[in-house]
């Protein structure tokens, strides 16, 4: 597989070179990260999990599917003058020395986690290692997993407060990791064929220390980061030029509170040149989605039915809406044909218009979710990338893709709207499944085979999934 070099990326722009997956302390799998990067329009990303390369191969395979270049990366923690200094390694080649040291660092993380857990217990906030492993899911245990366990137990209201009050440097439950010096970290990356980059210099907290660090043999500095403003970026660009090292950037993405970014000089120039003629400011509300969910007595999420025309999407969606409404659950059917009568009446069926059609339905669905209502969408939505785009609009777990599977022969036999007949007669030029593509979902949450199941059986399959996964609190299967 081709190794996509860092120098190529810096010339082309539009990248995010600092992403964390479930291989360490992120909430998205490597494949899901690539999918999100594709939706964001990125050309290149780097998977930079803490002390591991485990997520790289999965990300590279997904990159082939989505047309995203994936750089093998890692984030290594070091210590300098009492400060935590993170180093990003790019274009890393695994070898016995590297894997051995990373393994020891990971083991040190678990030992540290046990000691941190003990400190929380001493503060009368008892948790166990199993509570934490529920969030690490068998991967590296890191502080975010401990924070989530504390929040789940109800000891602290939110994740960030756990960090600010207990886990940040100098706080009651803070402990150092098994750690290298910056010189050791840089040398390890170089011996593994990689480039060593100083991560998020602003978070070091002292530009004098940053300047001292740049005297080491770094190959680059992360001049763009989600926590840095334009002045910070300019200051670190100047430092990069002074030390004649590469400029990189990344979001340091872990979860839905972060946004996968677009970084690079080309991106910066374009954003400076694009005048923002419309001055708009997002108006925050004091009523959160969680508040609305609590008031309604149920979660809000998107139910997205996809499949060929005639597969039974609308039929099933109508039945699901009826059953949820019977249970007192706030929901609303968004049928794609109905929406084309109004919001999307100016769109036709070209690939571009199909994508815009789904984008608009996705944005409306997102508003429904934020309002505490379950949107039930029935749409052919033929492209995987378009469905992935909608998935990326809402928090993880709030998009449930239901693949209504049915053979093209059975769909054409049913032909409830007479569209197959018109297509065969040449009256329709671009019809999904016949003269236009349909991309089968890669990993849908639910698959119902309507050429094998009755409507009630398919409905119960969906209800069982929602109940089992905690979206519904009463099985209430229908006869």
CATH code: domain of residue 98: 3.20.20.140
Residue 276 in this model has a pLDDT that exceeds 50: no
Asked if residue 150 is part of any domain, the answer here is yes
Give the confidence band of 78 by pLDDT, cuts at 50, 70, 90.
very high
Given 77, 381, 392, 430, the catalytic residue: 381
Please determine, for residue 38, whether its predicted confidence score (pLDDT) is greater than 60. Answer: yes
pLDDT tens digits along 210-222:
999 999 999 999 9
**Strand pairing category for 83-90 and 195-198:** antiparallel
pLDDT tens digits for 372-429? 999 999 999 998 888 888 988 888 899 999 999 999 999 999 999 999 999 999 999 8
Question: Which one of 132, 147, 167 terminates a domain?
Answer: 167
Nearest 10 degrees: CA dihedral of 453, 456, 461, 465? 160
Annotation says 273 is catalytic: no
| Residue 282, pLDDT above cutoff 80 | no
Residue 330: count of CB within 10 angstroms of its CB: 18
Q: Does residue 407 lie within any of the structural domains?
A: yes
Residues 342 and 464 in one domain: yes
Does residue 445 share a domain with residue 305?
A: yes
Helix H or strand E encompassing 449: strand 446-449
Same domain? For 230 and 370 the reply is: no
Give the pTM. Answer: 0.59
The verdict on 303 and 416 lying in the same domain is yes
The answer to whether residues 60 and 145 belong to one domain is: no
**pLDDT at residue 290 tops 60:** yes
Residue 383 lies in a domain: yes
Q: How many domains does the chain have?
A: 3
| Residues 182 and 89 placed together within one structural domain of the fold | yes
- Cα 174 to Cα 163, 171, 233, 389: the distances in Å are 9, 5, 29, 38
Q: Are residues 314 and 336 in the same domain?
A: yes
**The domain boundary residue, chosen from 125, 142, 167:** 167
Containing structural domain, residue 121: 114-167
Average pLDDT rounded to a whole number, residues 175-199:
90
Q: Are strands 69-80 and 83-90 parallel, antiparallel or unpaired?
A: antiparallel
Do the domain assignments include residue 311?
yes
**Taking the CB of residue 65, how many other CB atoms lie within 10 A of it?**
14
405 lies in the same domain as 345:
yes
Q: Do 413 and 333 share a domain, yes or no?
A: yes
230 shares a domain with 97: yes
Residue 108 lies in a domain: no
In a domain, 399, yes or no: yes
Q: Verify that 98 and 195 share a domain, yes or no.
A: yes
Secondary structure of residue 344 in the 3-state scheme = coil
For residue 265, the SS3 value is helix
């Amino acid at each position: 597989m081709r190794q996509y070099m860092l120098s190529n990326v810096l010339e082309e722009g539009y990248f995010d070179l600092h992403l964390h997956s479930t291989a360490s302390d992120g909430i998205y799998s490597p494949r899901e990260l690539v999918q999100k990067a594709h939706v964001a329009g990125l050309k290149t990303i780097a998977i930079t999990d803490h002390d591991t390369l485990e997520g790289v191969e999965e990300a590279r395979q997904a990159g082939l599917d989505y047309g995203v270049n994936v750089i093998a990366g890692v984030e290594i923690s070091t210590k300098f003058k009492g400060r935590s200094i993170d180093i990003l390694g790019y274009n890393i080649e695994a070898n016995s020395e590297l894997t051995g040291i990373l393994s020891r660092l990971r083991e040190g993380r678990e030992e540290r986690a046990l000691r941190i857990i003990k400190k929380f217990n001493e503060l009368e906030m008892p948790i166990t290692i199993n509570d934490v492993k529920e969030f690490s899911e068998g991967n590296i245990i890191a502080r975010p997993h401990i924070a989530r366990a504390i929040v789940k137990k109800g000891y602290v209201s939110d994740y960030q407060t756990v960090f600010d009050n207990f886990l940040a440097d100098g706080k009651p439950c803070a402990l150092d990791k098994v750690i290298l010096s910056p010189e050791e970290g840089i040398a390890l990356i170089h011996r593994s064929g990689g480039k060593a980059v100083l991560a998020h210099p602003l978070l070091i907290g002292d530009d004098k220390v940053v300047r001292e660090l740049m005297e080491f043999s770094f190959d680059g500095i992360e001049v763009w980061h989600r926590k840095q403003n334009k002045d910070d970026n300019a200051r670190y660009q100047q430092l990069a030029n002074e030390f004649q090292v590469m400029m990189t950037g990344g979001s340091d993405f872990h979860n839905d509170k972060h946004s996968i970014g677009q970084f690079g000089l080309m991106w910066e120039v374009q954003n400076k040149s694009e005048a923002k003629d419309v001055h708009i400011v997002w108006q925050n509300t004091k009523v959160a989605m969680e508040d609305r969910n609590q008031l309604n007595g149920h979660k809000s999420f998107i139910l997205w039915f996809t499949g060929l025309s005639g597969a039974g999407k609308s039929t099933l969606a109508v039945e699901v809406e009826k059953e949820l409404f019977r249970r007192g659950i706030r929901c609303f059917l968004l049928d794609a044909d109905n929406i084309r009568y109004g919001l999307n009446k100016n769109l036709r069926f070209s690939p571009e218009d199909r994508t815009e059609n789904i984008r608009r339905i996705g944005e409306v669905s997102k508003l429904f979710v934020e309002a505490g209502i379950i949107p039930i969408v029935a749409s052919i939505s033929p492209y995987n990338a378009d469905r992935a785009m909608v998935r990326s609009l809402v928090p993880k777990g709030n998009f449930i893709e239901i693949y209504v599977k049915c053979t093209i022969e059975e769909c054409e036999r049913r032909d409830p709207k007479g569209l197959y007949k018109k297509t065969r007669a040449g009256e329709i030029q671009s019809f999904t499944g016949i003269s236009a593509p349909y991309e089968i979902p890669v990993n849908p949450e639910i698959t119902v085979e309507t050429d094998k199941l009755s409507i009630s059986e398919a409905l119960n399959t969906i209800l069982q999934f929602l109940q089992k996964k905690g979206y519904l609190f009463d099985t209430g299967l229908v006869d």
